[in-house]
Amino acid sequence: MAQHQEENKWAITLLESITDGLVHIDSQWRITYVNAWIETALGKPRAAILGRRLWEAAPELLGTPFEHGYRTALRTQQLVTFEAFHPLLHKWVEVRVYPSREGIAIYIHDITERKQAETALYKSHEALRIITETIPHLVWTARPDGWLDYFNQRCFTYLQASYDQLKGDGWLQLVHPDDQVRALATWHAAIQAGQAYEIEYRVREGKTGLYHWFLVRALPLTDAQGHIIKWFGTATDIDENKRIQQALQESEARLRGLVDSNILGILVIDARGRIYEANDAFLSLVGYSRADLEAGSLQWTELIPSYNQDRVMQLREELARTDRFPPYEIELVSKEGRRVPVLMGGTTFRREGPVPLALLFVLDMTAHKAMERQKDLLLGITGHELKTPLTVLRTILQLLQRRLKRLSSTVDNLPQEWQTFVTELPKLLDDALRQIDGQTRLINDLRDVSRITSHTLSLSLQPCDIVALLRQCIADLCVLVPERTLQLTLPEQENITVQADPDRIRQVITNYVNNALRYSPPEKPVHIGLTLQNEMVRIWVRDQGPGLSLEAQKALWRPFSQGEKGSSSQRGSSKGLGLGLFICQAIITEHRGEVGVESTPGEGSTFWFTLPITS
C-alpha cells in the first residue's frame, strides 16, 4: 500500500513538472485533474477548476474543434489529434485526446511559435510568388543538380509551352539552335563550380516563332554548410537593347568611316573649347599635328579671330539650346597665322556626363572662295565690257532718232521706197533701244549679284517718305505700260518715313510689278498696296496669274531661279536670268526687312516686302 502511494506521488510530481498541459475529464465531463501548466496558462487556481463540468467551466469551447474532438474521442474510444487556436489559453495548441471508459485524458502542447513561423513563411512564399508572377521576366528555379523544377506564369505565356515540356532540360529546345551547345555548356559549368550563371542567347517566342535575345542569370542558394539547395534564375528580354546596340555600332562605324575618309574636317569639342579629337583633314587645314592635339596645345578659342568671337558665342548658345546649329561661314586662324575660310556646322554629340561634347563639321572653302572671287571679277569685267558698247550703241541710236526727226519734214521729196523706209525706221530704232535697255538690265543684275556675293552691295540710306515713293514709282510704270491697269491702294496716313535707299526700293517695286505684269493676263489689273503692321510697313503686289506651287515658292528666292515652265501669260515675254527676286531679297535684307510670297495654284500670287518704320 505504501509502495503504491509512493508511485502515485512520483507520477503526480512528474505530471506537474512537464512543460505541456494535462487535463483529465471523467465520463460525465467533470474536470478531475489539471497540471500546473494549465493552472498558470488559465490564470486561475486549481480549486476553482476541479469538480466543475467542462462545458460550464469553459463555455467558450462549445461549437469549436475542441468540443468536437473531445466528444468524438469519448464516443469512439479512439485517439483524436488536432491543431486549433484555444480561446481560453489564447494560444495555438496541438491537442491529443486519449479516451478510456472512465473519461478522457487531454494532452495540450503550445505550438504558437511554430504557427507564427509557418505564417511568416507562407507570407514570404506568397510575396515571392506574387513578385515572380508580376515582374516582366521569365523566372525559374532548379534543383542542386540543375534540373529545372519551377517556372512562373510568364514563362508559360511567352514560350507557349507547358511545365512538362520545360522541366529538366526541356527548356533547351526553345533556345536558338546556334546557341544551344554554348547555353548548356555554360549552365553545366556553373553547376559544377557552384558559381553564378550569366549568359546571353536567343529564345523562341511561342506566338510568333521569332527568336529574341535574352540575358539569363542564376544564383545558387546554399545552406549553412555551403551546400547548394536551390538555384534561382531569371531571363530578361534584351532584344530591343541588342538592336539599339547594333544600330549604335553601325552608326559609330559609319561615323568613323566618315572621320577617317578625311573628306571634311571633323572634331569633338567641349563647351570650354577643348578639342578632344580631330581627324587628319582638320589638322591639316589648321596646320597642327596630332602631337599638338595630344599635348593639348590645340585650342578651339585660339583658332577663332577676334572679330568672329561674338558670332561663335551665339552659335554656342544656339547649340546648347537646340542641340545643333546650321552651317555657317567663318574664318579660322591656322598655326602659321593664315586665315582659312570654312563652312562649319555642329550638333550635340554627348549631353550626359560630366562634360557635354559637340561634334563639328568643317569644310575648307579656300578653293570655293577663290572661284567666287574669280567669278565676281569675271562678272565685273564682263559687265563693264558689255555695258560700254551698249552705252555707245544707245547713244548712236538716240542720235539717229534726233536726226531722223529733223529729216522727217523733207520725206515728201524722197522716192516712195525711201519714204516707206524713213516712216518705219522710228519703230525699228525704238525696238533696238528696248533690246539694249533689256540687256543693260541683265548686265546690271549680274553686277548686283557680284556685289551681293562679295558683300560689297552698298546702300545710300536716307529718310524717305515711302508712300510718296510708292505713288511716284507706280505713276512712272503707268507711263511705261499705258495699256495695262495698275491699281494702287494706300493707307489714310499720308507720310510714313523709313530709312531707305530710294533707288534700290524703286528697283524692288519695279521688279515685283514687272513680274506681276508678265504673269497676269493682259486684261486683268495688277493690285499694289501698302499697309502698316506694328512697327513695319508692308508693300505688296498681287497678280491674277496662274499661281505657284509650294516647290516653286521655295525656289523663287534663289539665284537663276525662274517661274514655272509655261506660267507666263505673255507670248514672247523674256524671263531674264532669274536674278531679280534674289537681288530684291538681298536689298530688303540690307534694309533690315523681309520678303515673301503667298500663292495658290490657279488663284494668283501676292509678293510682299517689309521695311522698319523710322521712329
- pLDDT at position 369: 78
C-alpha cell at 541: 503686289
pLDDT band at 1, cuts 50/70/90?
low
User: What is residue 573's predicted lDDT score, i.e. its pLDDT?
Assistant: 44
Residue 566's pLDDT is 46
pLDDT(128) > 80:
no
Q: How confident is the model at residue 424 (pLDDT cuts 50, 70, 90)?
A: confident
Query: Residue 103 sits in which domain range?
Result: 12-111
Q: What is the pLDDT of residues 29-87, one digit of tens each?
A: 999 998 888 888 888 888 888 999 999 988 999 999 999 999 999 999 999 999 999 99
Answer yes or no: are the C-beta atoms of 186 and 218 closer than 8 Å: no
Task: Kindly state the helix (H) or strand (E) to which residue 449 belongs, with its residue range.
Answer: helix 416-453
DSSP three-state, residue 558 = coil
Could you tell me the CA-to-CA distances from 368 to 29, 235, 394 in Å, in that order? 118, 59, 38
Lowest-pLDDT choice from 73-87, 158-172, 500-514, 558-572: 558-572
Q: Give the chain's mean pLDDT.
A: 83
The verdict on 37 and 23 lying in the same domain is yes
Burial grade of 14 (CB within 10 A; 0-12, 13-18, 19 or more):
exposed
Asked if residue 120 is part of any domain, the answer here is no
Q: Is the pLDDT of residue 522 over 70?
A: yes
Map grid coordinates 508712300 to a residue.
467
Contact 379, 444 (CB under 8 A): no
Higher pLDDT, 31 or 567: 31
Residue 93 lies in a domain: yes
pLDDT at residue 572 is higher than 50: no
If pLDDT is split at 50, 70 and 90, which confidence band does 314 have?
A: confident
Q: Examine the pLDDT at 303 and tell me if it is beyond 70.
A: yes
Max distance between CA atoms of the chain, in angstroms, equals 191
Same domain, 426 and 469: no
Percent of the chain scored above 70 by pLDDT? 82
- The listed range with the strongest mean pLDDT (14-28, 444-458, 495-509) is 495-509
Starting at the edge strand found earlier in the chain, the sheet holding 536-542 runs: 486-489, 526-533, 536-542, 605-612, 595-599
The span from the CA of 348 to the CA of 357, in Å, is 6
Q: What is the pLDDT of residue 563?
A: 59
pLDDT at 281 over 70: yes
Q: According to the model, what pLDDT value does residue 352 have?
A: 64
> Same structural domain for residues 359 and 397?
no
In a domain, 291, yes or no: yes
Last residue of a domain, one of 337, 364, 391: 364
Q: For residue 571, what pLDDT is reported?
A: 38
Same domain, 550 and 592: yes
Whole-number pLDDT of residue 258: 65
4 in a domain, yes or no? no
Q: Say yes or no to pLDDT of 115 above 70.
A: yes
pLDDT value, residue 182 = 95
Structural domain contains residue 270: yes
Answer yes or no: do 145 and 199 share one domain.
yes
Q: What is the pLDDT of residues 209-264, one digit of tens each?
A: 999 999 999 999 888 888 999 999 999 999 988 888 888 777 777 766 666 766 78
Q: Are residues 360 and 293 in the same domain?
A: yes
Share of the chain above pLDDT 90, in %: 35
Residue 121, pLDDT score = 65
Write out pLDDT tens, residues 472-485. 999 989 988 889 99
Task: Give a yes or no: residue 129 inside a domain.
Answer: no
What is the count of structural domains for the chain?
Answer: 5
Whether residues 147 and 238 fall in one domain: yes
Same domain, 196 and 331: no
Q: Give 3's pLDDT tier (boundaries 50, 70, 90).
A: low
Q: 29: domain CATH number?
A: 3.30.450.20
Is there a domain that residue 124 lies in? no
HSE-up of residue 343 (Cα within 13 Å, Cβ side): 9
- Residue 225 inside a domain? The answer is yes
Q: What is the mean pLDDT of residues 416-438?
A: 71
Instruction: Indicate whether 594 and 488 sit together in one domain.
Output: yes
pLDDT of 92 = 92
Q: Strand locations in 316-356, DSSP E?
A: 324-333, 339-350
pLDDT of 445 > 90? The answer is no
Q: Are residues 608 and 466 part of one domain?
A: yes
Burial 295-312 (b: 16+ CB within 10 A, else e): eeebebeebbeeebeeeb
8 vs 18 pLDDT, higher one = 18
> Which of 415, 613, 72, 291 shows the shortest CA–CA distance to 82?
72
- Name the domain boundary from 394, 429, 452: 452
Give the strand pairing for 339-350 and 91-100. unpaired
pLDDT in tens, 138-161: 989 999 999 999 898 889 999 999
pLDDT at residue 570 tops 50: no
Based on the fold, state whether residues 587 and 502 are members of the same structural domain: yes
Calculate the alpha carbon distances from 504 to 233, 471, 561, 596 in Å: 80, 15, 21, 17
pTM over 0.85: no
**Rounded to an integer, what distance in angstroms lies between the CA atom of residue 316 and that of residue 535?**
31
The mean pLDDT value for 511-530 works out to: 92
Q: How confident is the model at residue 397 (pLDDT cuts 50, 70, 90)?
A: confident
Question: Does 466 share its domain with 603?
Answer: yes
